[in-house]
Chain A
């Protein structure tokens, strides 16, 4: 199993190379990898159904007791087959769909990475391994939704999906950690038998809520349903694969996995039935509001996810049988229909139902595959969808106290599904050709009709011969969820019973909707319903993100004024308050017992430092001030030399020189200092300056009054030659003993240099770009560059002092900063 997962990731790694070698055949070549994995899992099926689950463990992080464990039971087998089987078709399909894209290689890297992550997710036994793959699916999904990264809609949709599923992922992680605390194991396979312990634990409610948060966000349950339709901004193969057949089912999967552990309680049933049922009913009808094929399919996907969640909540033997059956039914038809939508879009240039019609002669093969899938979606016998619907109704009828409500909601939702299925799979092909297509409609290539035809055909074949899957695959999947074996028998014809009657009612309503759809779609009720439940949550979410960004911007601006002098003032005042406070309250200060004798040249250098500082303060020319400061710097370097630190002295000399040059390059462009600042700010600066000086002096004395701990330097001295072959301890520490620190430092240096580089290149920034939203795109563009007289704020500080590179001034021109009120010297 490990090999199967790794091979998919390996395929992701070589994908760009394969695409470069052969654009046309890349999809077919790469598809052999998931196909191989699919065959592998098929071969395991007999073993899993007869001999029980397989478990496999490979050491991974022994230090953290984290092995790569995989667990293949009926449930993970079903999902693994879906991931690899549909994955194979999607890889082939994408080769045709993105044939002309320059970025096919990148696409395959992301798609196959996702596939590997998804496969790992469904197979993982260890909760941490599961979580890592879970997050990886969120991340790859983000990249794939945002594949057309030049388009703002794509970026926004991708961010929406990432924030929602990422936040849910964090909740899930917390839930899994709590689960570990209760059960004492990270392995799902061991947790499965501990349901009673968990349910009785005081942490149960917390675990349940957190796991639900993870599952509901991932599987787009109300109120998080809005990200999934938005995710349709991604390329169609992505929608077909991630956002219908596989990834969005990860939430349902974790609920199914957790069913033996967390399920069976009142809380479980009520929550899942309520949220799942509401999502199902609401999104089934929301789908009818759209004319875009992909939007319709997206909403019907959330409808099915709601249905699956609801069935898991009901949790009876029949409900779980219905859940696994519908998972397969849905994956088959929805994958096919998305590909159909992609074909239509690809070959005609539109996927709007208002413009589509009469494509039957242009795209006959796509139509056959798509129609088969659509009929399965509508639950029309003898397709597999009919069986799925019947068994759902059967489960609803025996759902205990909720049964009437559940049955009613299911019938209404399925009726909408009948209509949606016909709208997507039938309507584009019948009638007359309506609008002028931007492209001459023609049949898609083999790679693109293969998927719909195989999946649509499977829907028909399984419908006619359900014994193909019921005893083997579905029964063991059901056993995996319930942890006890049950007979699962599917059949097309059950005789005349309540479920069949419910089906007939469903068809009646469904066909009625289909014929009245155009009026319904435009009606005011539908509009209001759509705005309230379809658009509002998504808009609210965007609003929330925007407000978050704006308020953090406001807070940042309050501290990061962009004025270097203000920063220094804050930093120095902070130093005085904190270090001074610590000295006052914590340290027991005493006059050092012995101070070394002061030699005359030491005193002379110290005097020079003081004099240069005074000269810098009194200078009325920037150039003179800088030179005076440099004299101070060089004098300090000489002091280092006198006190036996030649390395430090050399470094100080070089840095001083280079800083001086940098400052001169910049300062020569600033106007001269004419006159002094107002007395208030001078007094304030003087107080801060004297305060810092006093603190530093006190700290120096305080350091002297403590006995020096030499154990570290002794160690360095003793071992520097024997261990590190060097007699210059400073250098040995830098490159050997503390080499990792040095590496960190040079990385910081690199970032600082790049920061300066970017700062110097920056011309203008827009506020909305920083906040990543377009809500206020009418803001004025911001000038950061000056006009000869002004200098970017970063440059004022000089290179050395400005190394944090964090000063981004989104909404104030640098010129304004220069002319800020307390800097009256500049004009």
Chain B
């Protein structure tokens, strides 16, 4: 496959924006359309795009973590959120909320254990997509070469 300069340049600009956007999706999800699942898909798309532009090995380097680690971390986050509730005497996965008053804003910042759970979902989604794409690409090399 021929490397496309346009794609590479565009990717460099797009990937940070996509990643920021994915975090945005994750955070706003509780009140507006979005959430960990979509956020995860967007973040995964960013890395897939990067791998299309510069190759799987490059994408792996940028990702730093193995997709399998992401899967494990994600599951640990989700289960951890549940155990956190257990530890405070609530039942498993019952949501806990802390309100942090912010200077200059009338509404306090609400932080919930559901956010940890949703981050876990996001990690699992990213890990799943990337593990599939990377391992398919490893097995059927040639499309995305370095």
* Bound CA span A750–B44, Å: 15
- For B68, what are the chain A residues with a Cβ–Cβ distance below 8 Å? 754, 757
Q: Are B131 and A756 in contact (CB under 8 A)?
A: yes
Stretch in A212-220, A556-564, A645-653 touching the partner:
A645-653
- For A792, what are the chain B residues with a Cβ–Cβ distance below 8 Å? 139
Q: Are B143 and A668 in contact (CB under 8 A)?
A: yes
Q: Are B142 and A731 in contact (CB under 8 A)?
A: no
> Contact flags (1/0) for A714-756 with B, using CB distance below 8 Å?
0000000000111110111011100110110011011011101
A727 contact from B31, B41, B93, Cβ within 8 A: B31
* CB of A552 within 8 Å of the partner chain: no
Q: Are B133 and A662 in contact (CB under 8 A)?
A: yes
A654 contact from B38, B92, B124, B131, Cβ within 8 A: B38
- For A650, what are the chain B residues with a Cβ–Cβ distance below 8 Å? 25, 33-34, 38
> Contact flags (1/0) for B104-131 with A, using CB distance below 8 Å?
0000001010100110110011011101
- Total chain B interface residues with beta-carbon distance under 8 A: 53
Q: Are A795 and B129 in contact (CB under 8 A)?
A: no
* CB of B138 within 8 Å of the partner chain: yes
A728 contact from B29, B79, B136, Cβ within 8 A: B29
Q: Are B45 and A657 in contact (CB under 8 A)?
A: yes
Q: Are B93 and A740 in contact (CB under 8 A)?
A: yes
> Contact flags (1/0) for B35-48 with A, using CB distance below 8 Å?
11110011011001
Q: Are B131 and A746 in contact (CB under 8 A)?
A: no
Query: B15 → chain A, closest Cβ, in Å?
Result: 15
* CB of B11 within 8 Å of the partner chain: no
- For B117, what are the chain A residues with a Cβ–Cβ distance below 8 Å? 735, 739, 742-743
* CB of A655 within 8 Å of the partner chain: yes
Q: Are A665 and B97 in contact (CB under 8 A)?
A: no
Q: Are A725 and B30 in contact (CB under 8 A)?
A: yes
Known: A728-B31, A739-B117. A665 touches B137 (CB 8 A): yes
Q: Are B75 and A750 in contact (CB under 8 A)?
A: yes
Q: Are B131 and A753 in contact (CB under 8 A)?
A: yes
* CB of A761 within 8 Å of the partner chain: yes
Query: B7 → chain A, closest Cβ, in Å?
Result: 13
* Bound CA span A664–B143, Å: 9
Query: A818 → chain B, closest Cβ, in Å?
Result: 14
* Bound CA span A795–B82, Å: 35
* CB of B32 within 8 Å of the partner chain: yes
- For B142, what are the chain A residues with a Cβ–Cβ distance below 8 Å? 668-669
* Bound CA span A727–B29, Å: 9
Label chain A's interface by main secondary structure: helix
* CB of B62 within 8 Å of the partner chain: no
What residue in chain A is nearest B22 (Cβ atoms)?
A654
* Bound CA span A675–B93, Å: 56
- For A730, what are the chain B residues with a Cβ–Cβ distance below 8 Å? 33, 35
Q: Are B41 and A750 in contact (CB under 8 A)?
A: no
B30 contact from A666, A732, A757, A761, Cβ within 8 A: A732
Q: Are B93 and A739 in contact (CB under 8 A)?
A: yes
A743 contact from B32, B52, B78, B140, Cβ within 8 A: B78
Scoring B68, B82, B131 by chain A CB atoms within 10 A of each residue's CB, the highest score goes to: B131
* CB of B71 within 8 Å of the partner chain: yes
Q: Are A799 and B136 in contact (CB under 8 A)?
A: yes
Query: B9 → chain A, closest Cβ, in Å?
Result: 20
Known: A647-B33, A725-B97, A735-B121. A665 touches B74 (CB 8 A): no
* Bound CA span A415–B21, Å: 85
* CB of B95 within 8 Å of the partner chain: yes
* Bound CA span A746–B35, Å: 14
Query: A653 → chain B, closest Cβ, in Å?
Result: 9
Query: B123 → chain A, closest Cβ, in Å?
Result: 9
- For A724, what are the chain B residues with a Cβ–Cβ distance below 8 Å? 95, 114
* CB of B144 within 8 Å of the partner chain: yes
Q: Are B124 and A666 in contact (CB under 8 A)?
A: no
Q: Are B95 and A753 in contact (CB under 8 A)?
A: no
Q: Are B136 and A742 in contact (CB under 8 A)?
A: no
Known: A731-B34, A735-B121. A666 touches B136 (CB 8 A): yes
* CB of B132 within 8 Å of the partner chain: yes
Interchain pairs with CB closer than 8 A, number: 154
Which residues in window 87-103 of B have CB below 8 A to A? 92-93, 95, 97
* CB of A54 within 8 Å of the partner chain: no
* Bound CA span A746–B36, Å: 11
Q: Are B127 and A753 in contact (CB under 8 A)?
A: yes
Scoring B38, B44, B121 by chain A CB atoms within 10 A of each residue's CB, the highest score goes to: B38
Which residues in window 132-181 of A have CB below 8 A to B? none
Known: A654-B38, A728-B32, A756-B132. A743 touches B139 (CB 8 A): no
* CB of A760 within 8 Å of the partner chain: yes
Q: Are A795 and B34 in contact (CB under 8 A)?
A: no
Known: A666-B136, A760-B139, A795-B139. A754 touches B131 (CB 8 A): yes
* CB of A791 within 8 Å of the partner chain: yes
* CB of B4 within 8 Å of the partner chain: no
Query: A647 → chain B, closest Cβ, in Å?
Result: 5
Query: A754 → chain B, closest Cβ, in Å?
Result: 7
- For A726, what are the chain B residues with a Cβ–Cβ distance below 8 Å? 30-31, 114
Known: A760-B138, A799-B136. A753 touches B41 (CB 8 A): no
* CB of A661 within 8 Å of the partner chain: yes
Which residues in window 650-684 of A have CB below 8 A to B? 650-651, 654-655, 657-658, 661-662, 664-666, 668-669
Q: Are A661 and B35 in contact (CB under 8 A)?
A: no
- For B74, what are the chain A residues with a Cβ–Cβ distance below 8 Å? 746, 750
Q: Are A662 and B132 in contact (CB under 8 A)?
A: yes
Q: Are A757 and B35 in contact (CB under 8 A)?
A: no
Known: A735-B114, A749-B124. A658 touches B79 (CB 8 A): no
Known: A724-B114, A746-B124. A647 touches B133 (CB 8 A): no
- For B29, what are the chain A residues with a Cβ–Cβ distance below 8 Å? 728, 731
- For A739, what are the chain B residues with a Cβ–Cβ distance below 8 Å? 82, 93, 95, 114, 117
Known: A727-B31, A730-B35, A750-B74. 6 other contacts (CB 8 A): A658-B45, A727-B32, A735-B36, A735-B121, A739-B82, A750-B127
Closest 5 CB pairs of A and B: A654-B41, A726-B30, A646-B33, A760-B139, A753-B128
A residues apposed to B, CB below 8 Å: 646-647, 650-651, 654-655, 657-658, 661-662, 664-666, 668-669, 724-728, 730-732, 734-736, 739-740, 742-743, 746-747, 749-750, 752-754, 756-757, 760-761, 791-792, 795, 799
Q: Can you show 15 pairs from A to B with CB atoms below 8 A apart?
A: A650-B33, A662-B136, A665-B136, A665-B143, A665-B144, A669-B143, A731-B34, A735-B121, A739-B114, A742-B121, A743-B117, A746-B78, A747-B75, A753-B71, A757-B132
